[in-house]
Amino acid sequence: MNPTHRYLADASKLAPGESVTGPARVLDLKGRKGIHPQSIHTVIKLEGGHTINQPKGTFVLWFFALEDLAASFLADNMKIDNENFANYCFLSDHEVPRVVPPAAFHFKWNRFNELRAKFFKGTVYPTLEGFTPPQKAWVQAVPFNVVQQHRWYQLAVSWDDAAKSAALYCNGVLLGRSDTFNKDFVRETCGEALYAGCPALCHGEIEFYDSVLSGADLYKKFRAGTPDYDAAIEKELRHHWEGTELENFTFDPVAAGWTKQFDVDFQNPVEQIKQFYVQGHTSAVKPTGHPEGLLIETPNIRYGSMEAWESQVYIWSEKTFEGDIYVEWEWKAIKPNGLSLLMIHASGMTREDFMADWPRKTNGNMGTVHAQNVRNYHWEYYREMNDVRNDVGTAFSRKNPFAYRIGFGSSPEPFAPDTWHKAQLVQSGGKIRGAIDGKILLEINDSSRNNSGCILNFGHIGLRCMVHTAMVFRNLKVYTDQLPFTELSR
């Protein structure tokens, strides 16, 4: 298991094929050395060959960050002078590493908390070339917010054209695989020279292999090469991305003395759907479509197309809920490769009832979740869409519309299709926990002091199904805790 190419093995003495243009310094952290660009214009160039254009291979790189890699809200004023400020590039075939679209190969972390390697010119978002048929090759971990300053990390990406698969690792832990449902895996030709350079990063050794290294191979290399192993970091990585040590969900709203506010078993969907407002692709809601509950089946259209954005649907409770909340429901996916999410405490920007005070929204796209004037927490509890990790079951949450990605977890295996699963979520103050089949996948601790607004505690609940999703729902229940005040009149 020897690399075919190795770069920056000794950053203090550049080898043939290695060059640095612009101000930089060599840093030694606990015995490992790397190059730290001291200008946004500094570029590290590697031109001794690589294996990215071979049918299969792996690259392994080491880095440490000069500051924690932490996501934040983004604003146009931040683009003054550098419109690509949010990109932290590890490796690219474009001579300006922070620029993504023209690169046929690019590996970066960005301020959206996305760690992504792509093998095509263009982007996954926002310009969508990654989805254009035939679908292109990329692999990602989203959200990825584990990197602490002044600590060495090992990142690795492998690819196998015959298997139509790519994989992404951190410290030997599998973070994600490329889309497992799509038949396409198009990798464009990478340039012969590679480039790196980001003032927030110290770039260390990079190795290229002409074979697919396994997680065990990479973990062995990591343990042999790391000067600052931390068991707590490994535990966090394995918990969030491998689903190890999942805790049992033990909260019982009845035992806690909470009050049942909503109970819809969906055994009479034709009548019971009247308790909901259907937004978006209304014909996807099929009250007579399944004998076991409410069927929602969105069109089987390619995700990433403009038609697909609106061919999606929400069902909103007409009723609002206030205070600490518990929601449970059962769901069954009757076809693979879909996505469904729950929204809680959905209200207007000043806590108003957005469905009563403003014209009701009719769009089916994701905008209402995260890009309009609706505050909410959303939990993607069933995720097999082609822009998310779909080789295992995962849970993802965000506080909207503040772009605050606050939770992620994994199940060791995908959720079995055509099988009933039970989802449970409880919010008590800023603490939110979400579970599937009794195992906690989502753990969130929100605060009113993190520049994303207050802890949300009022609004509608909603279920949303994205394109090419077919699911059946039953036994939706909502409980709330007692409020500290008494309502005297209405």
Burial of 362 (0-12, 13-18, 19+ CB in 10 A): exposed
Range 259-480 classified under CATH 3.40.30.10: no
pLDDT in tens, 103-113: 999 999 999 99
pLDDT in tens, 187-201: 999 999 999 999 999
From-to residues of CATH 2.60.120.200 in the chain: 5-242, 259-480
Residues 292 and 287: their CA atoms lie apart, in Å, by 11
Q: Which residues contact 103 (CB under 8 A, 6 or more apart)?
A: 92, 93, 94, 118, 121
Q: What is the DSSP letter of 126?
A: S
| Annotation: CATH topology of 5-242 | Jelly Rolls (2.60.120)
The helix or strand, by DSSP H or E, that contains position 62, with its residue range, turns out to be strand 56-65
Residue found by looking up tokens 């802890």 in the block:
455
Model confidence at 350: pLDDT above 90: yes
pLDDT in tens, 135-148: 999 999 999 999 99
Position 21 scores a pLDDT of: 99
Sheet holding 18-21, edge to edge: 18-21, 43-46, 194-196, 87-92, 106-110, 114-118, 138-141
Q: Where are the alpha helices (DSSP H) in 243-318?
A: 269-272, 306-310
Cβ contact 62:227 at 8 Å: no
The average pLDDT across 381-390 equals 94
Residues 462 and 285: their CA atoms lie apart, in Å, by 13
**Whose CA is closest to 139, among 404, 390, 409, 411?**
390
